[in-house]
Amino acid sequence: MAKAKLEYIWLDGYQPMQSLRSKTKIVSDFSGKLEDCPMWSFDGSSTEQAPGNSSDCLLKPVALYPDPTRKDGWLVMTEVLSADGNPHPTNGRAHIEDDDNDFWFGFEQEYFLWDPSINKPLGFPESGYPAPQGPYYCSVGYGKAYGRDIIEEHLDICLEAGLNVEGINAEVATGQWEFQIFAKGAKSAGDQIWVARYLLERVGEAHGVAIEWHCKPVKGDWNGSGMHANFSNTLLRTAGSKEIYEKVLESFRPVIAEHIAVYGPDNHLRLTGKHETQSIDTFSYGVSDRGASIRIPVVTVEKGWKGYLEDRRPNSAADPYKVAAVIIKTVKAASL
């Protein structure tokens, strides 16, 4: 009787950033289909999701991927439900209004590879700083690109798992990297970002390197980390009108606070108006403007105002489910 290892992955209740949790369920003769992944449970009192005297929380499987790092292994992304079967308050995925997958998202996930022995990014000296920013972005070569073996291993296993990674690159700061994931459907995009984060943490374990998701882990003249959200729906993909785009963009202006609330903790440290950002309390947009809150890609204009937009405000520690949910809500309101 064949045995399979199902790794159930979920988000805990820690604040200001939820952490990944996982545990393994062994099943016999697994079909490899999501519908055959059973519901499971866990102790919510150990994850800030339930009191000790009523601690059971449920895990509802929502996405399934092969696990390239394990023999007969599968990665099961789940939603957390309360014991009564309703979405737990920490469950951001349940609030995404995109059942028809009309919204497409491409998330650009930045992060730092972190050397725990000196509590600094990989490539930083024990004392002082490396050379200023400039040579590290999309770099190649010793002394410029740090940790390439780690990010290449991560890329390979993400692709083997069936995640739609569309690219990787070294970022502006020393030890900073990025991967990009695209999906047709906001829930799928969020699932894949979280599973990719999970796999990166696993790779880091094997190399003795931590993954730093905080948006501004190094103070001073160093870029922070974002999770830029590229998004479209049928309206944006077929608009053919600058006026329609401006209507959608203007709908973001009065809800700055609502968006910033879910765009990741400590974003005031990153959204300063410097290092390719707009100030946290200001809303702006512009064609090919990486200093704007929302960038209008030049390709969207060249195609006759048919395409997508890039919200540059979400940071590297943001929950992609919550980011997608609030963007969808705002765009739908503009489309009424």
Residues 18 and 163 placed together within one structural domain of the fold: no
Please give the Cα distance from 264 to 318 (Å, whole number). Answer: 4
Q: Say whether both 78 and 205 belong to one domain.
A: no
Sign of the Cα torsion 24, 26, 30, 36 reads: negative
Note whether 186 and 282 are same-domain residues: yes
* DSSP E strands, the chain: 3-11, 20-28, 40-43, 56-66, 73-81, 104-115, 120-121, 165-170, 176-184, 210-212, 227-232, 285-287, 294-296, 309-311
Domain boundary among the residues 48, 69, 91 is at: 91
The residue type found at 325 is: A
Query: 193 and 221 in one domain?
Result: yes
Could you say which of 59, 91, 123 is where a domain stops? 91
Of 4, 59, 7, 69, the C-alpha closest to 32 is 4
**Higher pLDDT residue, 312 or 52?**
312
Mean pLDDT of the region 41-48: 97
Co-location of 131 and 229 in the same domain:
yes
Quick check: is 247 in a domain? yes
- Same-domain status, 188 and 327: yes
Statement to judge: residues 71 and 178 lie in one domain: no
Q: Are residues 164 and 242 in the same domain?
A: yes
Rounded CA-CA distance 65/32 in Å is 9
Count how many domains the chain has.
Answer: 2
- Report the alpha-carbon distance of residue 110 to residue 193 in Å, rounded: 11
Which pLDDT does position 300 carry in this prediction?
Answer: 98
- Report the pLDDT averaged over residues 263-270: 97
Residue 97 belongs to some domain of the structure = no
pTM for the model stands at: 0.97
* 1, pLDDT greater than 90: no
- Tell me whether residue 96 is in a domain: no
Answer whether residue 306 is part of any domain: yes
Q: Can you give the pLDDT at residue 275?
A: 87
Residue 297 to residue 229: CA distance in whole angstroms = 12
Residues 109 and 83 reside in one and the same domain:
no
For 166-225, the pLDDT digits (tens) are 999 999 999 999 999 999 999 999 999 999 999 999 999 999 999 999 999 999 999 999
Residues 118 and 206 reside in one and the same domain: yes
- pLDDT tier for residue 161 given thresholds of 50, 70 and 90: very high
Does some domain include residue 199? yes
Whether 205 is covered by a domain: the verdict is: yes
Domain of 87, CATH number, reads 3.10.20.70
Same domain, 80 and 117: no
**Are 38 and 57 within 8 A, CB to CB?**
no
Query: Where is the domain boundary, 62, 91, 120?
Result: 91
Average pLDDT of span 56-78? 98
pLDDT band at 118 (very low <50, low <70, confident <90, very high): very high
Same domain, 251 and 142: yes
Classify residue 99: in a domain, yes or no: no
* Domain carrying residue 36: 3-91
Residue 336 has pLDDT above 70, yes or no: no
What single DSSP character describes residue 166?
Answer: E
* Domain-embedded: residue 298: yes
The CATH number assigned to the domain holding 195 equals 3.30.590.10
